[in-house]
């Protein structure tokens, strides 16, 4: 069944190369479905390898005369304004192709606008900088040059938020870009390009949209000598493949990869606050975010009390279509997502976990098979799949610890190091624990995630590079130092 997505922001369902919408039809296309209903929203034609190469060539020509900092700032400010203006409709498109509640989709558009505004407001950080003379008589000037044509590859879970982090920094650096969105959620990106094409005066080739097969598009981006930088958000497995595929070109990679976030609750914590923050953190996007809690670690003396508080709150959540005003949790992105969550729950119960909240037996309903009820497990241990792997769904597994040292050891018991959360009223303890946690982002008495004003990125196998903040502003620049009398 088809429910074609009709939107004023989607007059074209095509890629965008060298300042024009592609018209090729071809036989290769990606079907985009509404995960809440299973209905087909659109069939999106794939961009060919030749068209990706044409986009790179168009971008390369622009590097001879990069736009001024003032022009870049004006572009960034305009994009921020347009995202704010069209937040309602962008949120609706996000909800239809992703499934998250509409209020979350709208909030994502506003969040995305923040990255463009931050880069616009701080563009002078990329201006040439004179270095004071030292013992030598020469002087030095530091320039931040555009690194070149950059490849930006984004995941499906934040179809607008993730590209905002990358594209804002690329524009600020003066870099032409080739953008490859996830095939499950390309419509939001197409809507963004409608605004870029309609409201801005980018030179042809400065922003390009490639749709379809990651193997086709990724191969060109990895192998082409005129794409010196790739920024990727996605799984650690794919990140490692990109490292291998680009090693012969010595390309610079910025990688935000998998997570396995611990949520530490000490005995002296404000348990009500911790429970509220856990729900806000865990169930955003249906638990399909790389920074959401994957393992709750609670002091054994308060674990049962905390689990009871979480259970009371989870029991009030409504699962349903994201367009319904009272929906708290939408569907998972597809059947494979449902299967993974179910496998983690089944495995944990088999290995001795207790069911704190959730159905004793869960089977997919109807034709959609993507809705999974929020589930809370107790007595979780390190042998269970939900401890070792990122669940990416509405599952809250609660484990216990007996000491501060044990809590730190358990939290760090993962190859990932993206985000962690610590709840304690003891400032000294918070400082001790956080300093020993091997995670790039740590929330203390809050479950909040990244912000445009601060750098975000991972440690260990969660990747390297930073997005947001002044550090992210430099992600697509090359530093050149000029010595002069």
Task: Measure the CA–CA gap between 344 and 347, rounded to whole angstroms.
Answer: 5
Q: Name every residue whose Cβ is closer than 8 Å to that of residue 96 and which is 6 or more positions away in sequence.
A: 5, 34, 41, 187, 322, 323
Burial of 334 (0-12, 13-18, 19+ CB in 10 A): middle
Q: Residue 354, SS3?
A: strand
Task: Measure the CA–CA gap between 176 and 153, rounded to whole angstroms.
Answer: 14
Instruction: State the SS3 of 50-64.
Output: HHHHHHHHHHHHHCC
Q: Is 256 a catalytic residue?
A: yes
162 touches 46 (CB < 8 A): no
Identify which of 397, 377, 395 has the alpha carbon closest to the alpha carbon of residue 387. Answer: 397
Sign of CA dihedral 201, 202, 203, 205: negative
Q: Which of 175, 222, 290, 386 is catalytic?
A: 290
Strands 375-378, 207-209: pairing kind: unpaired
51 touches 15 (CB < 8 A): yes
Task: Measure the CA–CA gap between 21 and 356, rounded to whole angstroms.
Answer: 52
Q: Is 290 a catalytic residue?
A: yes
Strand-pairing partners, residue 319, are 329
Task: Measure the CA–CA gap between 149 and 154, rounded to whole angstroms.
Answer: 16
Query: In 3-132, which residue ranges form alpha helices assigned H by DSSP?
Result: 49-62, 69-85, 87-98, 102-121
Q: Residue 15, SS3?
A: coil
267 touches 401 (CB < 8 A): no
175 touches 148 (CB < 8 A): yes
What is the DSSP code string of 162-211?
Answer: HHHHHHHHHHHHT--EEEE--TTS-HHHHHHHHHHHHH--PPTTSEEE--
Q: Which of 51, 97, 104, 256 is catalytic?
A: 256
Strand-pairing partners, residue 58, are none
Catalytic amino acids? 256, 290
């Amino acid at each position: 069944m088809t429910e074609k997505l009709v939107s004023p922001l989607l007059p074209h369902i095509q890629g965008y190369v060298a300042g024009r919408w592609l018209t090729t039809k071809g036989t290769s296309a990606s079907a985009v479905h509404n995960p809440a209903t299973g209905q087909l929203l659109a069939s999106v034609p794939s961009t060919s390898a030749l068209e990706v190469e044409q986009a790179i060539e168009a971008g390369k020509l622009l590097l001879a005369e990069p736009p001024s900092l003032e022009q870049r700032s004006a572009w960034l400010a305009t994009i921020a304004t347009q995202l704010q203006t069209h937040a309602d409709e962008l949120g609706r498109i996000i909800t239809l192709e992703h499934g998250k509640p509409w209020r979350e989709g709208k909030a994502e558009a506003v969040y995305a606008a923040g990255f463009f505004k931050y880069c616009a407001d701080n563009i002078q950080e990329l201006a040439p900088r004179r270095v004071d003379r030292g013992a030598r008589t020469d002087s030095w000037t530091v320039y931040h040059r555009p690194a070149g044509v950059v490849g930006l590859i984004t995941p499906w879970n934040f179809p607008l938020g993730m590209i905002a982090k990358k594209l804002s920094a690329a524009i600020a650096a003066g870099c032409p870009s080739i953008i490859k969105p996830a095939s499950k959620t390309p419509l939001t990106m197409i809507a963004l390009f409608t605004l870029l094409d309609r409201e801005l005066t980018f030179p042809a080739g400065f922003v390009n949209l490639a749709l379809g097969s990651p193997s086709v598009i990724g191969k060109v981006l990895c192998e082409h000598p005129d794409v010196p930088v790739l920024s990727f958000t996605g799984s650690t497995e794919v990140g490692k493949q990109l490292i291998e595929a680009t090693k012969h070109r010595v390309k610079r990679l910025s990688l935000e990869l998998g997570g396995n976030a611990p949520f530490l609750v000490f005995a002296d914590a404000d348990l009500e606050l911790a429970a509220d923050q856990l729900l806000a953190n865990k169930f955003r996007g249906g638990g399909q975010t790389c920074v959401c809690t994957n393992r709750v670690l609670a002091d054994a003396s308060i674990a049962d009390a905390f689990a009871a508080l979480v259970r009371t709150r989870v029991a009030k959540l409504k699962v349903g279509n994201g367009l319904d005003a009272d929906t708290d949790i939408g569907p998972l992105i597809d059947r494979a997502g449902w299967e993974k969550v179910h496998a983690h729950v089944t495995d944990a119960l088999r290995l001795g976990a207790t069911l704190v909240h959730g159905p004793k037996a869960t089977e997919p309903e109807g034709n959609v098979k993507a809705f999974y009820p929020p589930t809370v497990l107790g007595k979780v241990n390190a042998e269970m799949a939900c401890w070792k792997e990122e669940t990416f769904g509405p599952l809250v597994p609660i484990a216990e610890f007996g000491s501060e040292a044990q809590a730190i050891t358990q939290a760090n018991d993962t190859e990932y190091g993206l985000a962690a959360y610590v709840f304690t009223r003891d400032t000294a303890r918070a400082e001790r624990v956080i300093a020993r946690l091997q995670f790039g982002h740590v929330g203390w008495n809050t479950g909040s995630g990244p912000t445009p004003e601060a750098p975000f990125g991972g440690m260990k196998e969660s990747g390297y590079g930073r997005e947001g903040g002044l550090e992210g502003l430099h992600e697509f620049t090359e530093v050149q130092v000029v010595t002069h009398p």
